[in-house]
Amino acid sequence: MPFRYLGVPIKAGRLTKLECTALTEKMVAGIRGLGAKNLSYAGRLTLINADGSPKYHRVPLVPWDKVTLPKTEGGLGIKKADMWNIATVGKLVDLIYCKADRLWIKWINDVYIKNNDWHSYTPPADATWVWKNICKVKEKLKNGYVDSIWTVSPKGYSIKSGYEWLSPAHIHLDWSALVWNSWNIPKHSMTTWLRMQEGMNVKSKLARLDSCADDRCILCQLQPETVEHFFTTCVYSSKVHSYLVQWYGGCFPTVNDFVAAARNNIQWKVKVAMFNAFNYSIWYQRNNARVNDWLLRPEKVTARIEEDVKRKIKQKCRAIDDQTVLVWLQTMEVT
């Protein structure tokens, strides 16, 4: 003692930031090796949830406090590392509450707790750093215990229940079902999420930061490029709207239309998939026009949206016995 495991010293005392550098560098190198910078936003989200993220030097599109919210509350469901660590240590706290038959718990009771009540226990000044931090976590979680029983979850303590209990509650957003729907292609969902969070770098925002010469819409060159104009009133977007309406029938839906409609029918799900595909395709064409200075015709964009949506419908609708739905899908040339 001490010895190293995965490049990190294993010792009884507290690890310094410098001693953890070797491990973090290996993680970052692995992530960069996967080509993280070339991934779509949906790919980056999956990578972050699995492994972490390399250092990011650009200004974030959406504040971190929103990103770490659950998806139903407008976030991406990324865990806060510090709070997740507390919830993880909480598992040790729970084992002490339960008086689990483990050697280290017997040792803790003999050396530190002795005959004291664990719920109200305070560590001595000469206790180790590790033990003091376990006690700090106990103080954060103690209100969730009654008579040494974790009352938050009927199945007892889990890291997930501890994390959720530590996380402050926020308002459930109705539009979350529109974004995080199994009928959506993930990269389409990410674009809609950025739209709903106003996280897109439209020219009106860039102009305020002196990052572009003017705020004219790249697609129509008629009005200032705001998120609202870009997806609703822009001449280019409106043409795509009209072509899509001819394809599936009815008016082009708004966000409020989706929120107010029943969500358990296939028509709603198909329109959700189309709406998300539209958002992605229009944003893709806008960025393509800005970077490469060329743009597909609206009818070509519509054809690509239809192709994506039809492919998704065929994946999800293996067996449909509702004749009304079948007729509607036949008019869309899906079945």
Those residues with Cβ within 8 angstroms of residue 268's Cβ, 6 or more apart along the chain or in another chain: 258, 261, 262
In contact, 179 and 193? CB cutoff 8 Å? yes
Give tens-digit pLDDT for 151-193: 999 999 999 999 999 988 778 888 998 999 888 999 999 999 9
pLDDT at 277: 95
Checking if the pLDDT of 12 tops 60, the result is yes
Residues found in the chain: 335
Those residues with Cβ within 8 angstroms of residue 229's Cβ, 6 or more apart along the chain or in another chain: 217, 223
pLDDT at 17: 81
- Tell me how far apart the alpha carbons of residues 26 and 293 are, in angstroms, rounded to a whole number: 39
pLDDT at 24: 79
Sequence spans of domains, the chain: 3-78, 82-166, 176-331
In the chain, the percentage of residues whose pLDDT exceeds 70 is 88
pLDDT at 53: 45
Return mean pLDDT, the chain: 85
- Tell me how far apart the alpha carbons of residues 267 and 180 are, in angstroms, rounded to a whole number: 17
Give the predicted TM-score (pTM) of the model.
0.77
pLDDT at 41: 65
- Tell me how far apart the alpha carbons of residues 255 and 271 are, in angstroms, rounded to a whole number: 11
pLDDT at 54: 44
- Tell me how far apart the alpha carbons of residues 45 and 141 are, in angstroms, rounded to a whole number: 29
What is the CB neighbour count within 10 angstroms for residue 150?
A: 22
pLDDT at 49: 61
Rounded alpha-carbon distances, angstroms, from residue 304 to 110, 180, 238, 272, 331: 69, 21, 16, 16, 18
Q: Is 149 helix (H, G, I), strand (E, B) or coil?
A: strand
pLDDT band at residue 123 under the 50/70/90 scheme: very high
Chain-centre distance for alpha carbon 246:
34
Q: Give the type of residue at 119.
A: H
- Tell me how far apart the alpha carbons of residues 162 and 136 are, in angstroms, rounded to a whole number: 14
How large is the angle between the packed helices 81-98 and 159-166, nearest 10 degrees? 120
pLDDT at 2: 64
Give tens-digit pLDDT for 216-239: 999 998 899 999 998 999 999 999
Give tens-digit pLDDT for 282-293: 999 999 998 898
